[in-house]
Amino acid sequence: MIMIKNILVPLDGSKNSIRALSNAIVLAKQTDAVITGLFVIQAFPTEIDVVMTVVGKALSKHYKHFMPIAKAMCTKKGIKFLDVIEYGEKGSTIVSFAHSNNFDLIVIGSRGMGRIKEVFLGSTSNYVLHSSKIPVMIIK
């Protein structure tokens, strides 16, 4: 049986990411786990300077607004919450971060705030599901 002590929840402020966080809170409460909220700002190496100046400012505002809400949700239920911001391609950044930080579980919303919608899963959750060696729980 896998011990769940560290849960990664990719967050973007969408309704599905909030549902993922709510489900992770229930699980964390049962297993005494810590939740890490990961906010990924989509960036590619050639765009990093532009992202940091133009889009990055807008997304940083979104991050600064949303992450305290996520932290409050966890604190209210007695769950320790850590927040992290990363820059890169969303799917690969989530998987890489999860693997390098030894998470036991990734809880992700089925669709985020991206424009591309796939039939059943968003492109990021689909990528994470198929690329992660860590168990993934997708919340619809």
| pLDDT for 114 | 47
pTM of the predicted protein model = 0.85
DSSP 32: T
**Is 126 contained in some domain?**
yes
How many structural domains compose the chain?
1
**Is 135 contained in some domain?**
yes
Helix (H) or strand (E) holding 37: strand 34-42
Cα–Cα dist 86/64, whole Å? 14
**For residue 33, what is the domain's CATH number?**
3.40.50.620
107 beta partners: 137
CB-count exposure of residue 129 (10 Å: 0-12, 13-18, 19+)? middle
**Is 1 contained in some domain?**
no
Task: With cut-offs at 50, 70 and 90, classify the pLDDT of residue 2.
Answer: confident
* Host domain of residue 71: 6-139
DSSP 51: I
Confidence check: pLDDT of 137 > 80: yes
pLDDT digits (tens, 9 = 90+) for 15-61: 899 999 999 999 999 999 999 999 998 765 555 555 555 656 666 67
